[in-house]
Amino acid sequence: MGNDHTARTTRWMPALTLGVTLLLSPGCSAKKVTRADSGSKELIDAHEFYNADEQPADHAARPAPVDAPDTPVIDTARRAPSEPVTLTPLPPVVTQPVDRPIPTGELELLDAKVGDINGHPIYANEFFAPIRDQLIGEAARLDMGQWQRVAARAIATRLDGIIADELLRAEAIASLSQQQRLGLRAFLQGFRSDLLSQNLGSSELANRRVLEEQGITLDEALRQQEVDTLIRLTLFREINRRVNVSWRDIKQRYERDLEKYSPPPTATFRRIRVFNSNADGIAKVNDQLASGVAFEEIAGSDINTFKPEEGGIESFEIDGDYGSTTFYGIDTLNEKAWSLNPGDWTGPFESGPSTYWLKLERIEQESISLYDAQLAIQREITVERRLEQQQEYLGRLIDRAHFSSRDEILIQLIDIATERYGPAQ
């Protein structure tokens, strides 16, 4: 039993973790609906699932969601948390055509229903839509064996993501109170009403607009909104609220990563180089410096042969003591550099085929205090702990779910992908 548990969790965890990590990213725990007309986002939180007799006035004016014929369908039957998600494989069932050229004299390739997840059908066209271009692109550069390995990974990740959504949705449905169910119905009905109001109240226009903008139908958009809302509620309840970061945690992390927040100081130099063969150039630099022309102005002119476009600037990290740090591969330059204080310059001096002038612009210590770093550290620790809680929570869901049919559906999908998008034989 222990080995089965480990194998099952190991197989499912990477893909499920990937699917949920996006939902747990900072700033994403409560964002829900993007309005097509304004780009703004509506926020919904657990406390917003109110009782029917406590609804605001604007909700009271709406038809009751339960009685409305177009109310999004929600599975209101209480599911025991331990009840597994149902995954049902089916032999491919022809439903609708695929947009692919049909060779003369051959039968038309139609869409296939390959299974169900809790009664929600998996259609090949809809399943492959997000990864279709990737599969076709890989087929153009890989042989069949290589392509099938790449395709199998992409298809498995997509299938596992769908199942992960359903796991979280089923868990949320099982945990909703009657008042929360009413609140969810009202929220989804409001979402649908908003879509219709943006399209002159026409469901046909709304369906066309959603299809053009998102590539899915109105019903699919409502279904996705339901899934997203339920998943966020589940994650908020089961994961986010369990994550706490104390001031002690922040301080300990700061002390652990002190080098990150207090890096070694940096010395910034400005160098002018003129080849010894250019006597006029050397004389010109000396004359300009003597007449008060700024060092940086000369370093940025054409007479300088060392990074004139950058003004001859170069920076080095100080390793320990300034006077013992090796800045250059030329001993003469190092000796001159050690003799400088910030703002001082020296030259001319020869080294090899060139004459140099060197200025120490500044020495900087860019340390970040605990006060300034605390918010970044808090976010860092929060993300880490959310991921830990997420893995534990998904592990528990996977243990309760029995996906004996998952591999069968996966094989069917790989076969369909090979037929449709694989390399030409």
Q: What is the pLDDT of residues 15-29, one digit of tens each?
A: 444 444 434 444 433
405 contacts 115 by C-beta, under 8 angstroms: yes
Residue 218 pLDDT class (50, 70, 90 cuts):
confident
Q: How far, CA to CA in Å, does 94 sit from each of 65, 97, 335?
A: 34, 8, 82
Query: What domains lie within the chain, and their CATH numbers?
Result: 2-244+382-421 (no CATH), 263-364 (3.10.50.40)
Per-residue pLDDT, averaged over 202-207, amounts to 82
104-113, 187-196, 406-415, range with the lowest pLDDT: 104-113
Element counts in the chain: helices (H) and strands (E)? 15, 9
Q: How far, CA to CA in Å, does 253 sit from each of 92, 250, 262, 292?
A: 54, 5, 13, 50
Q: Is it the case that residue 7 has pLDDT exceeding 50?
A: no
Rounded CA-CA distance 269/249 in Å is 40
Q: Is it the case that residue 147 has pLDDT exceeding 80?
A: yes
With the CA atoms of 63, 67, 69 and 71 taken in that order, what torsion angle do they form, in degrees rounded to the nearest 10? 70
* Whole-number average pLDDT of the chain: 76
Residue 51 pLDDT class (50, 70, 90 cuts):
very low
Give pLDDT, residue 86.
58
The structure tokens listed for 129 are 């839509």
Which range has the top average pLDDT, 76-80, 291-295, 398-402?
291-295
Q: What is the pLDDT of residues 225-268, one digit of tens each?
A: 877 887 777 777 778 878 899 999 999 999 999 988 988 899 99
Which range has the top average pLDDT, 32-46, 100-114, 138-152, 405-419?
138-152
Which DSSP string corresponds to 275-288? ETT-HHHHHHHHHH
Q: Is residue 33 within a helix (H) or strand (E), and if so which, with residue range? A: strand 31-34
Q: Is it the case that residue 223 has pLDDT exceeding 80?
A: no
Q: DSSP class of residue 83?
A: S
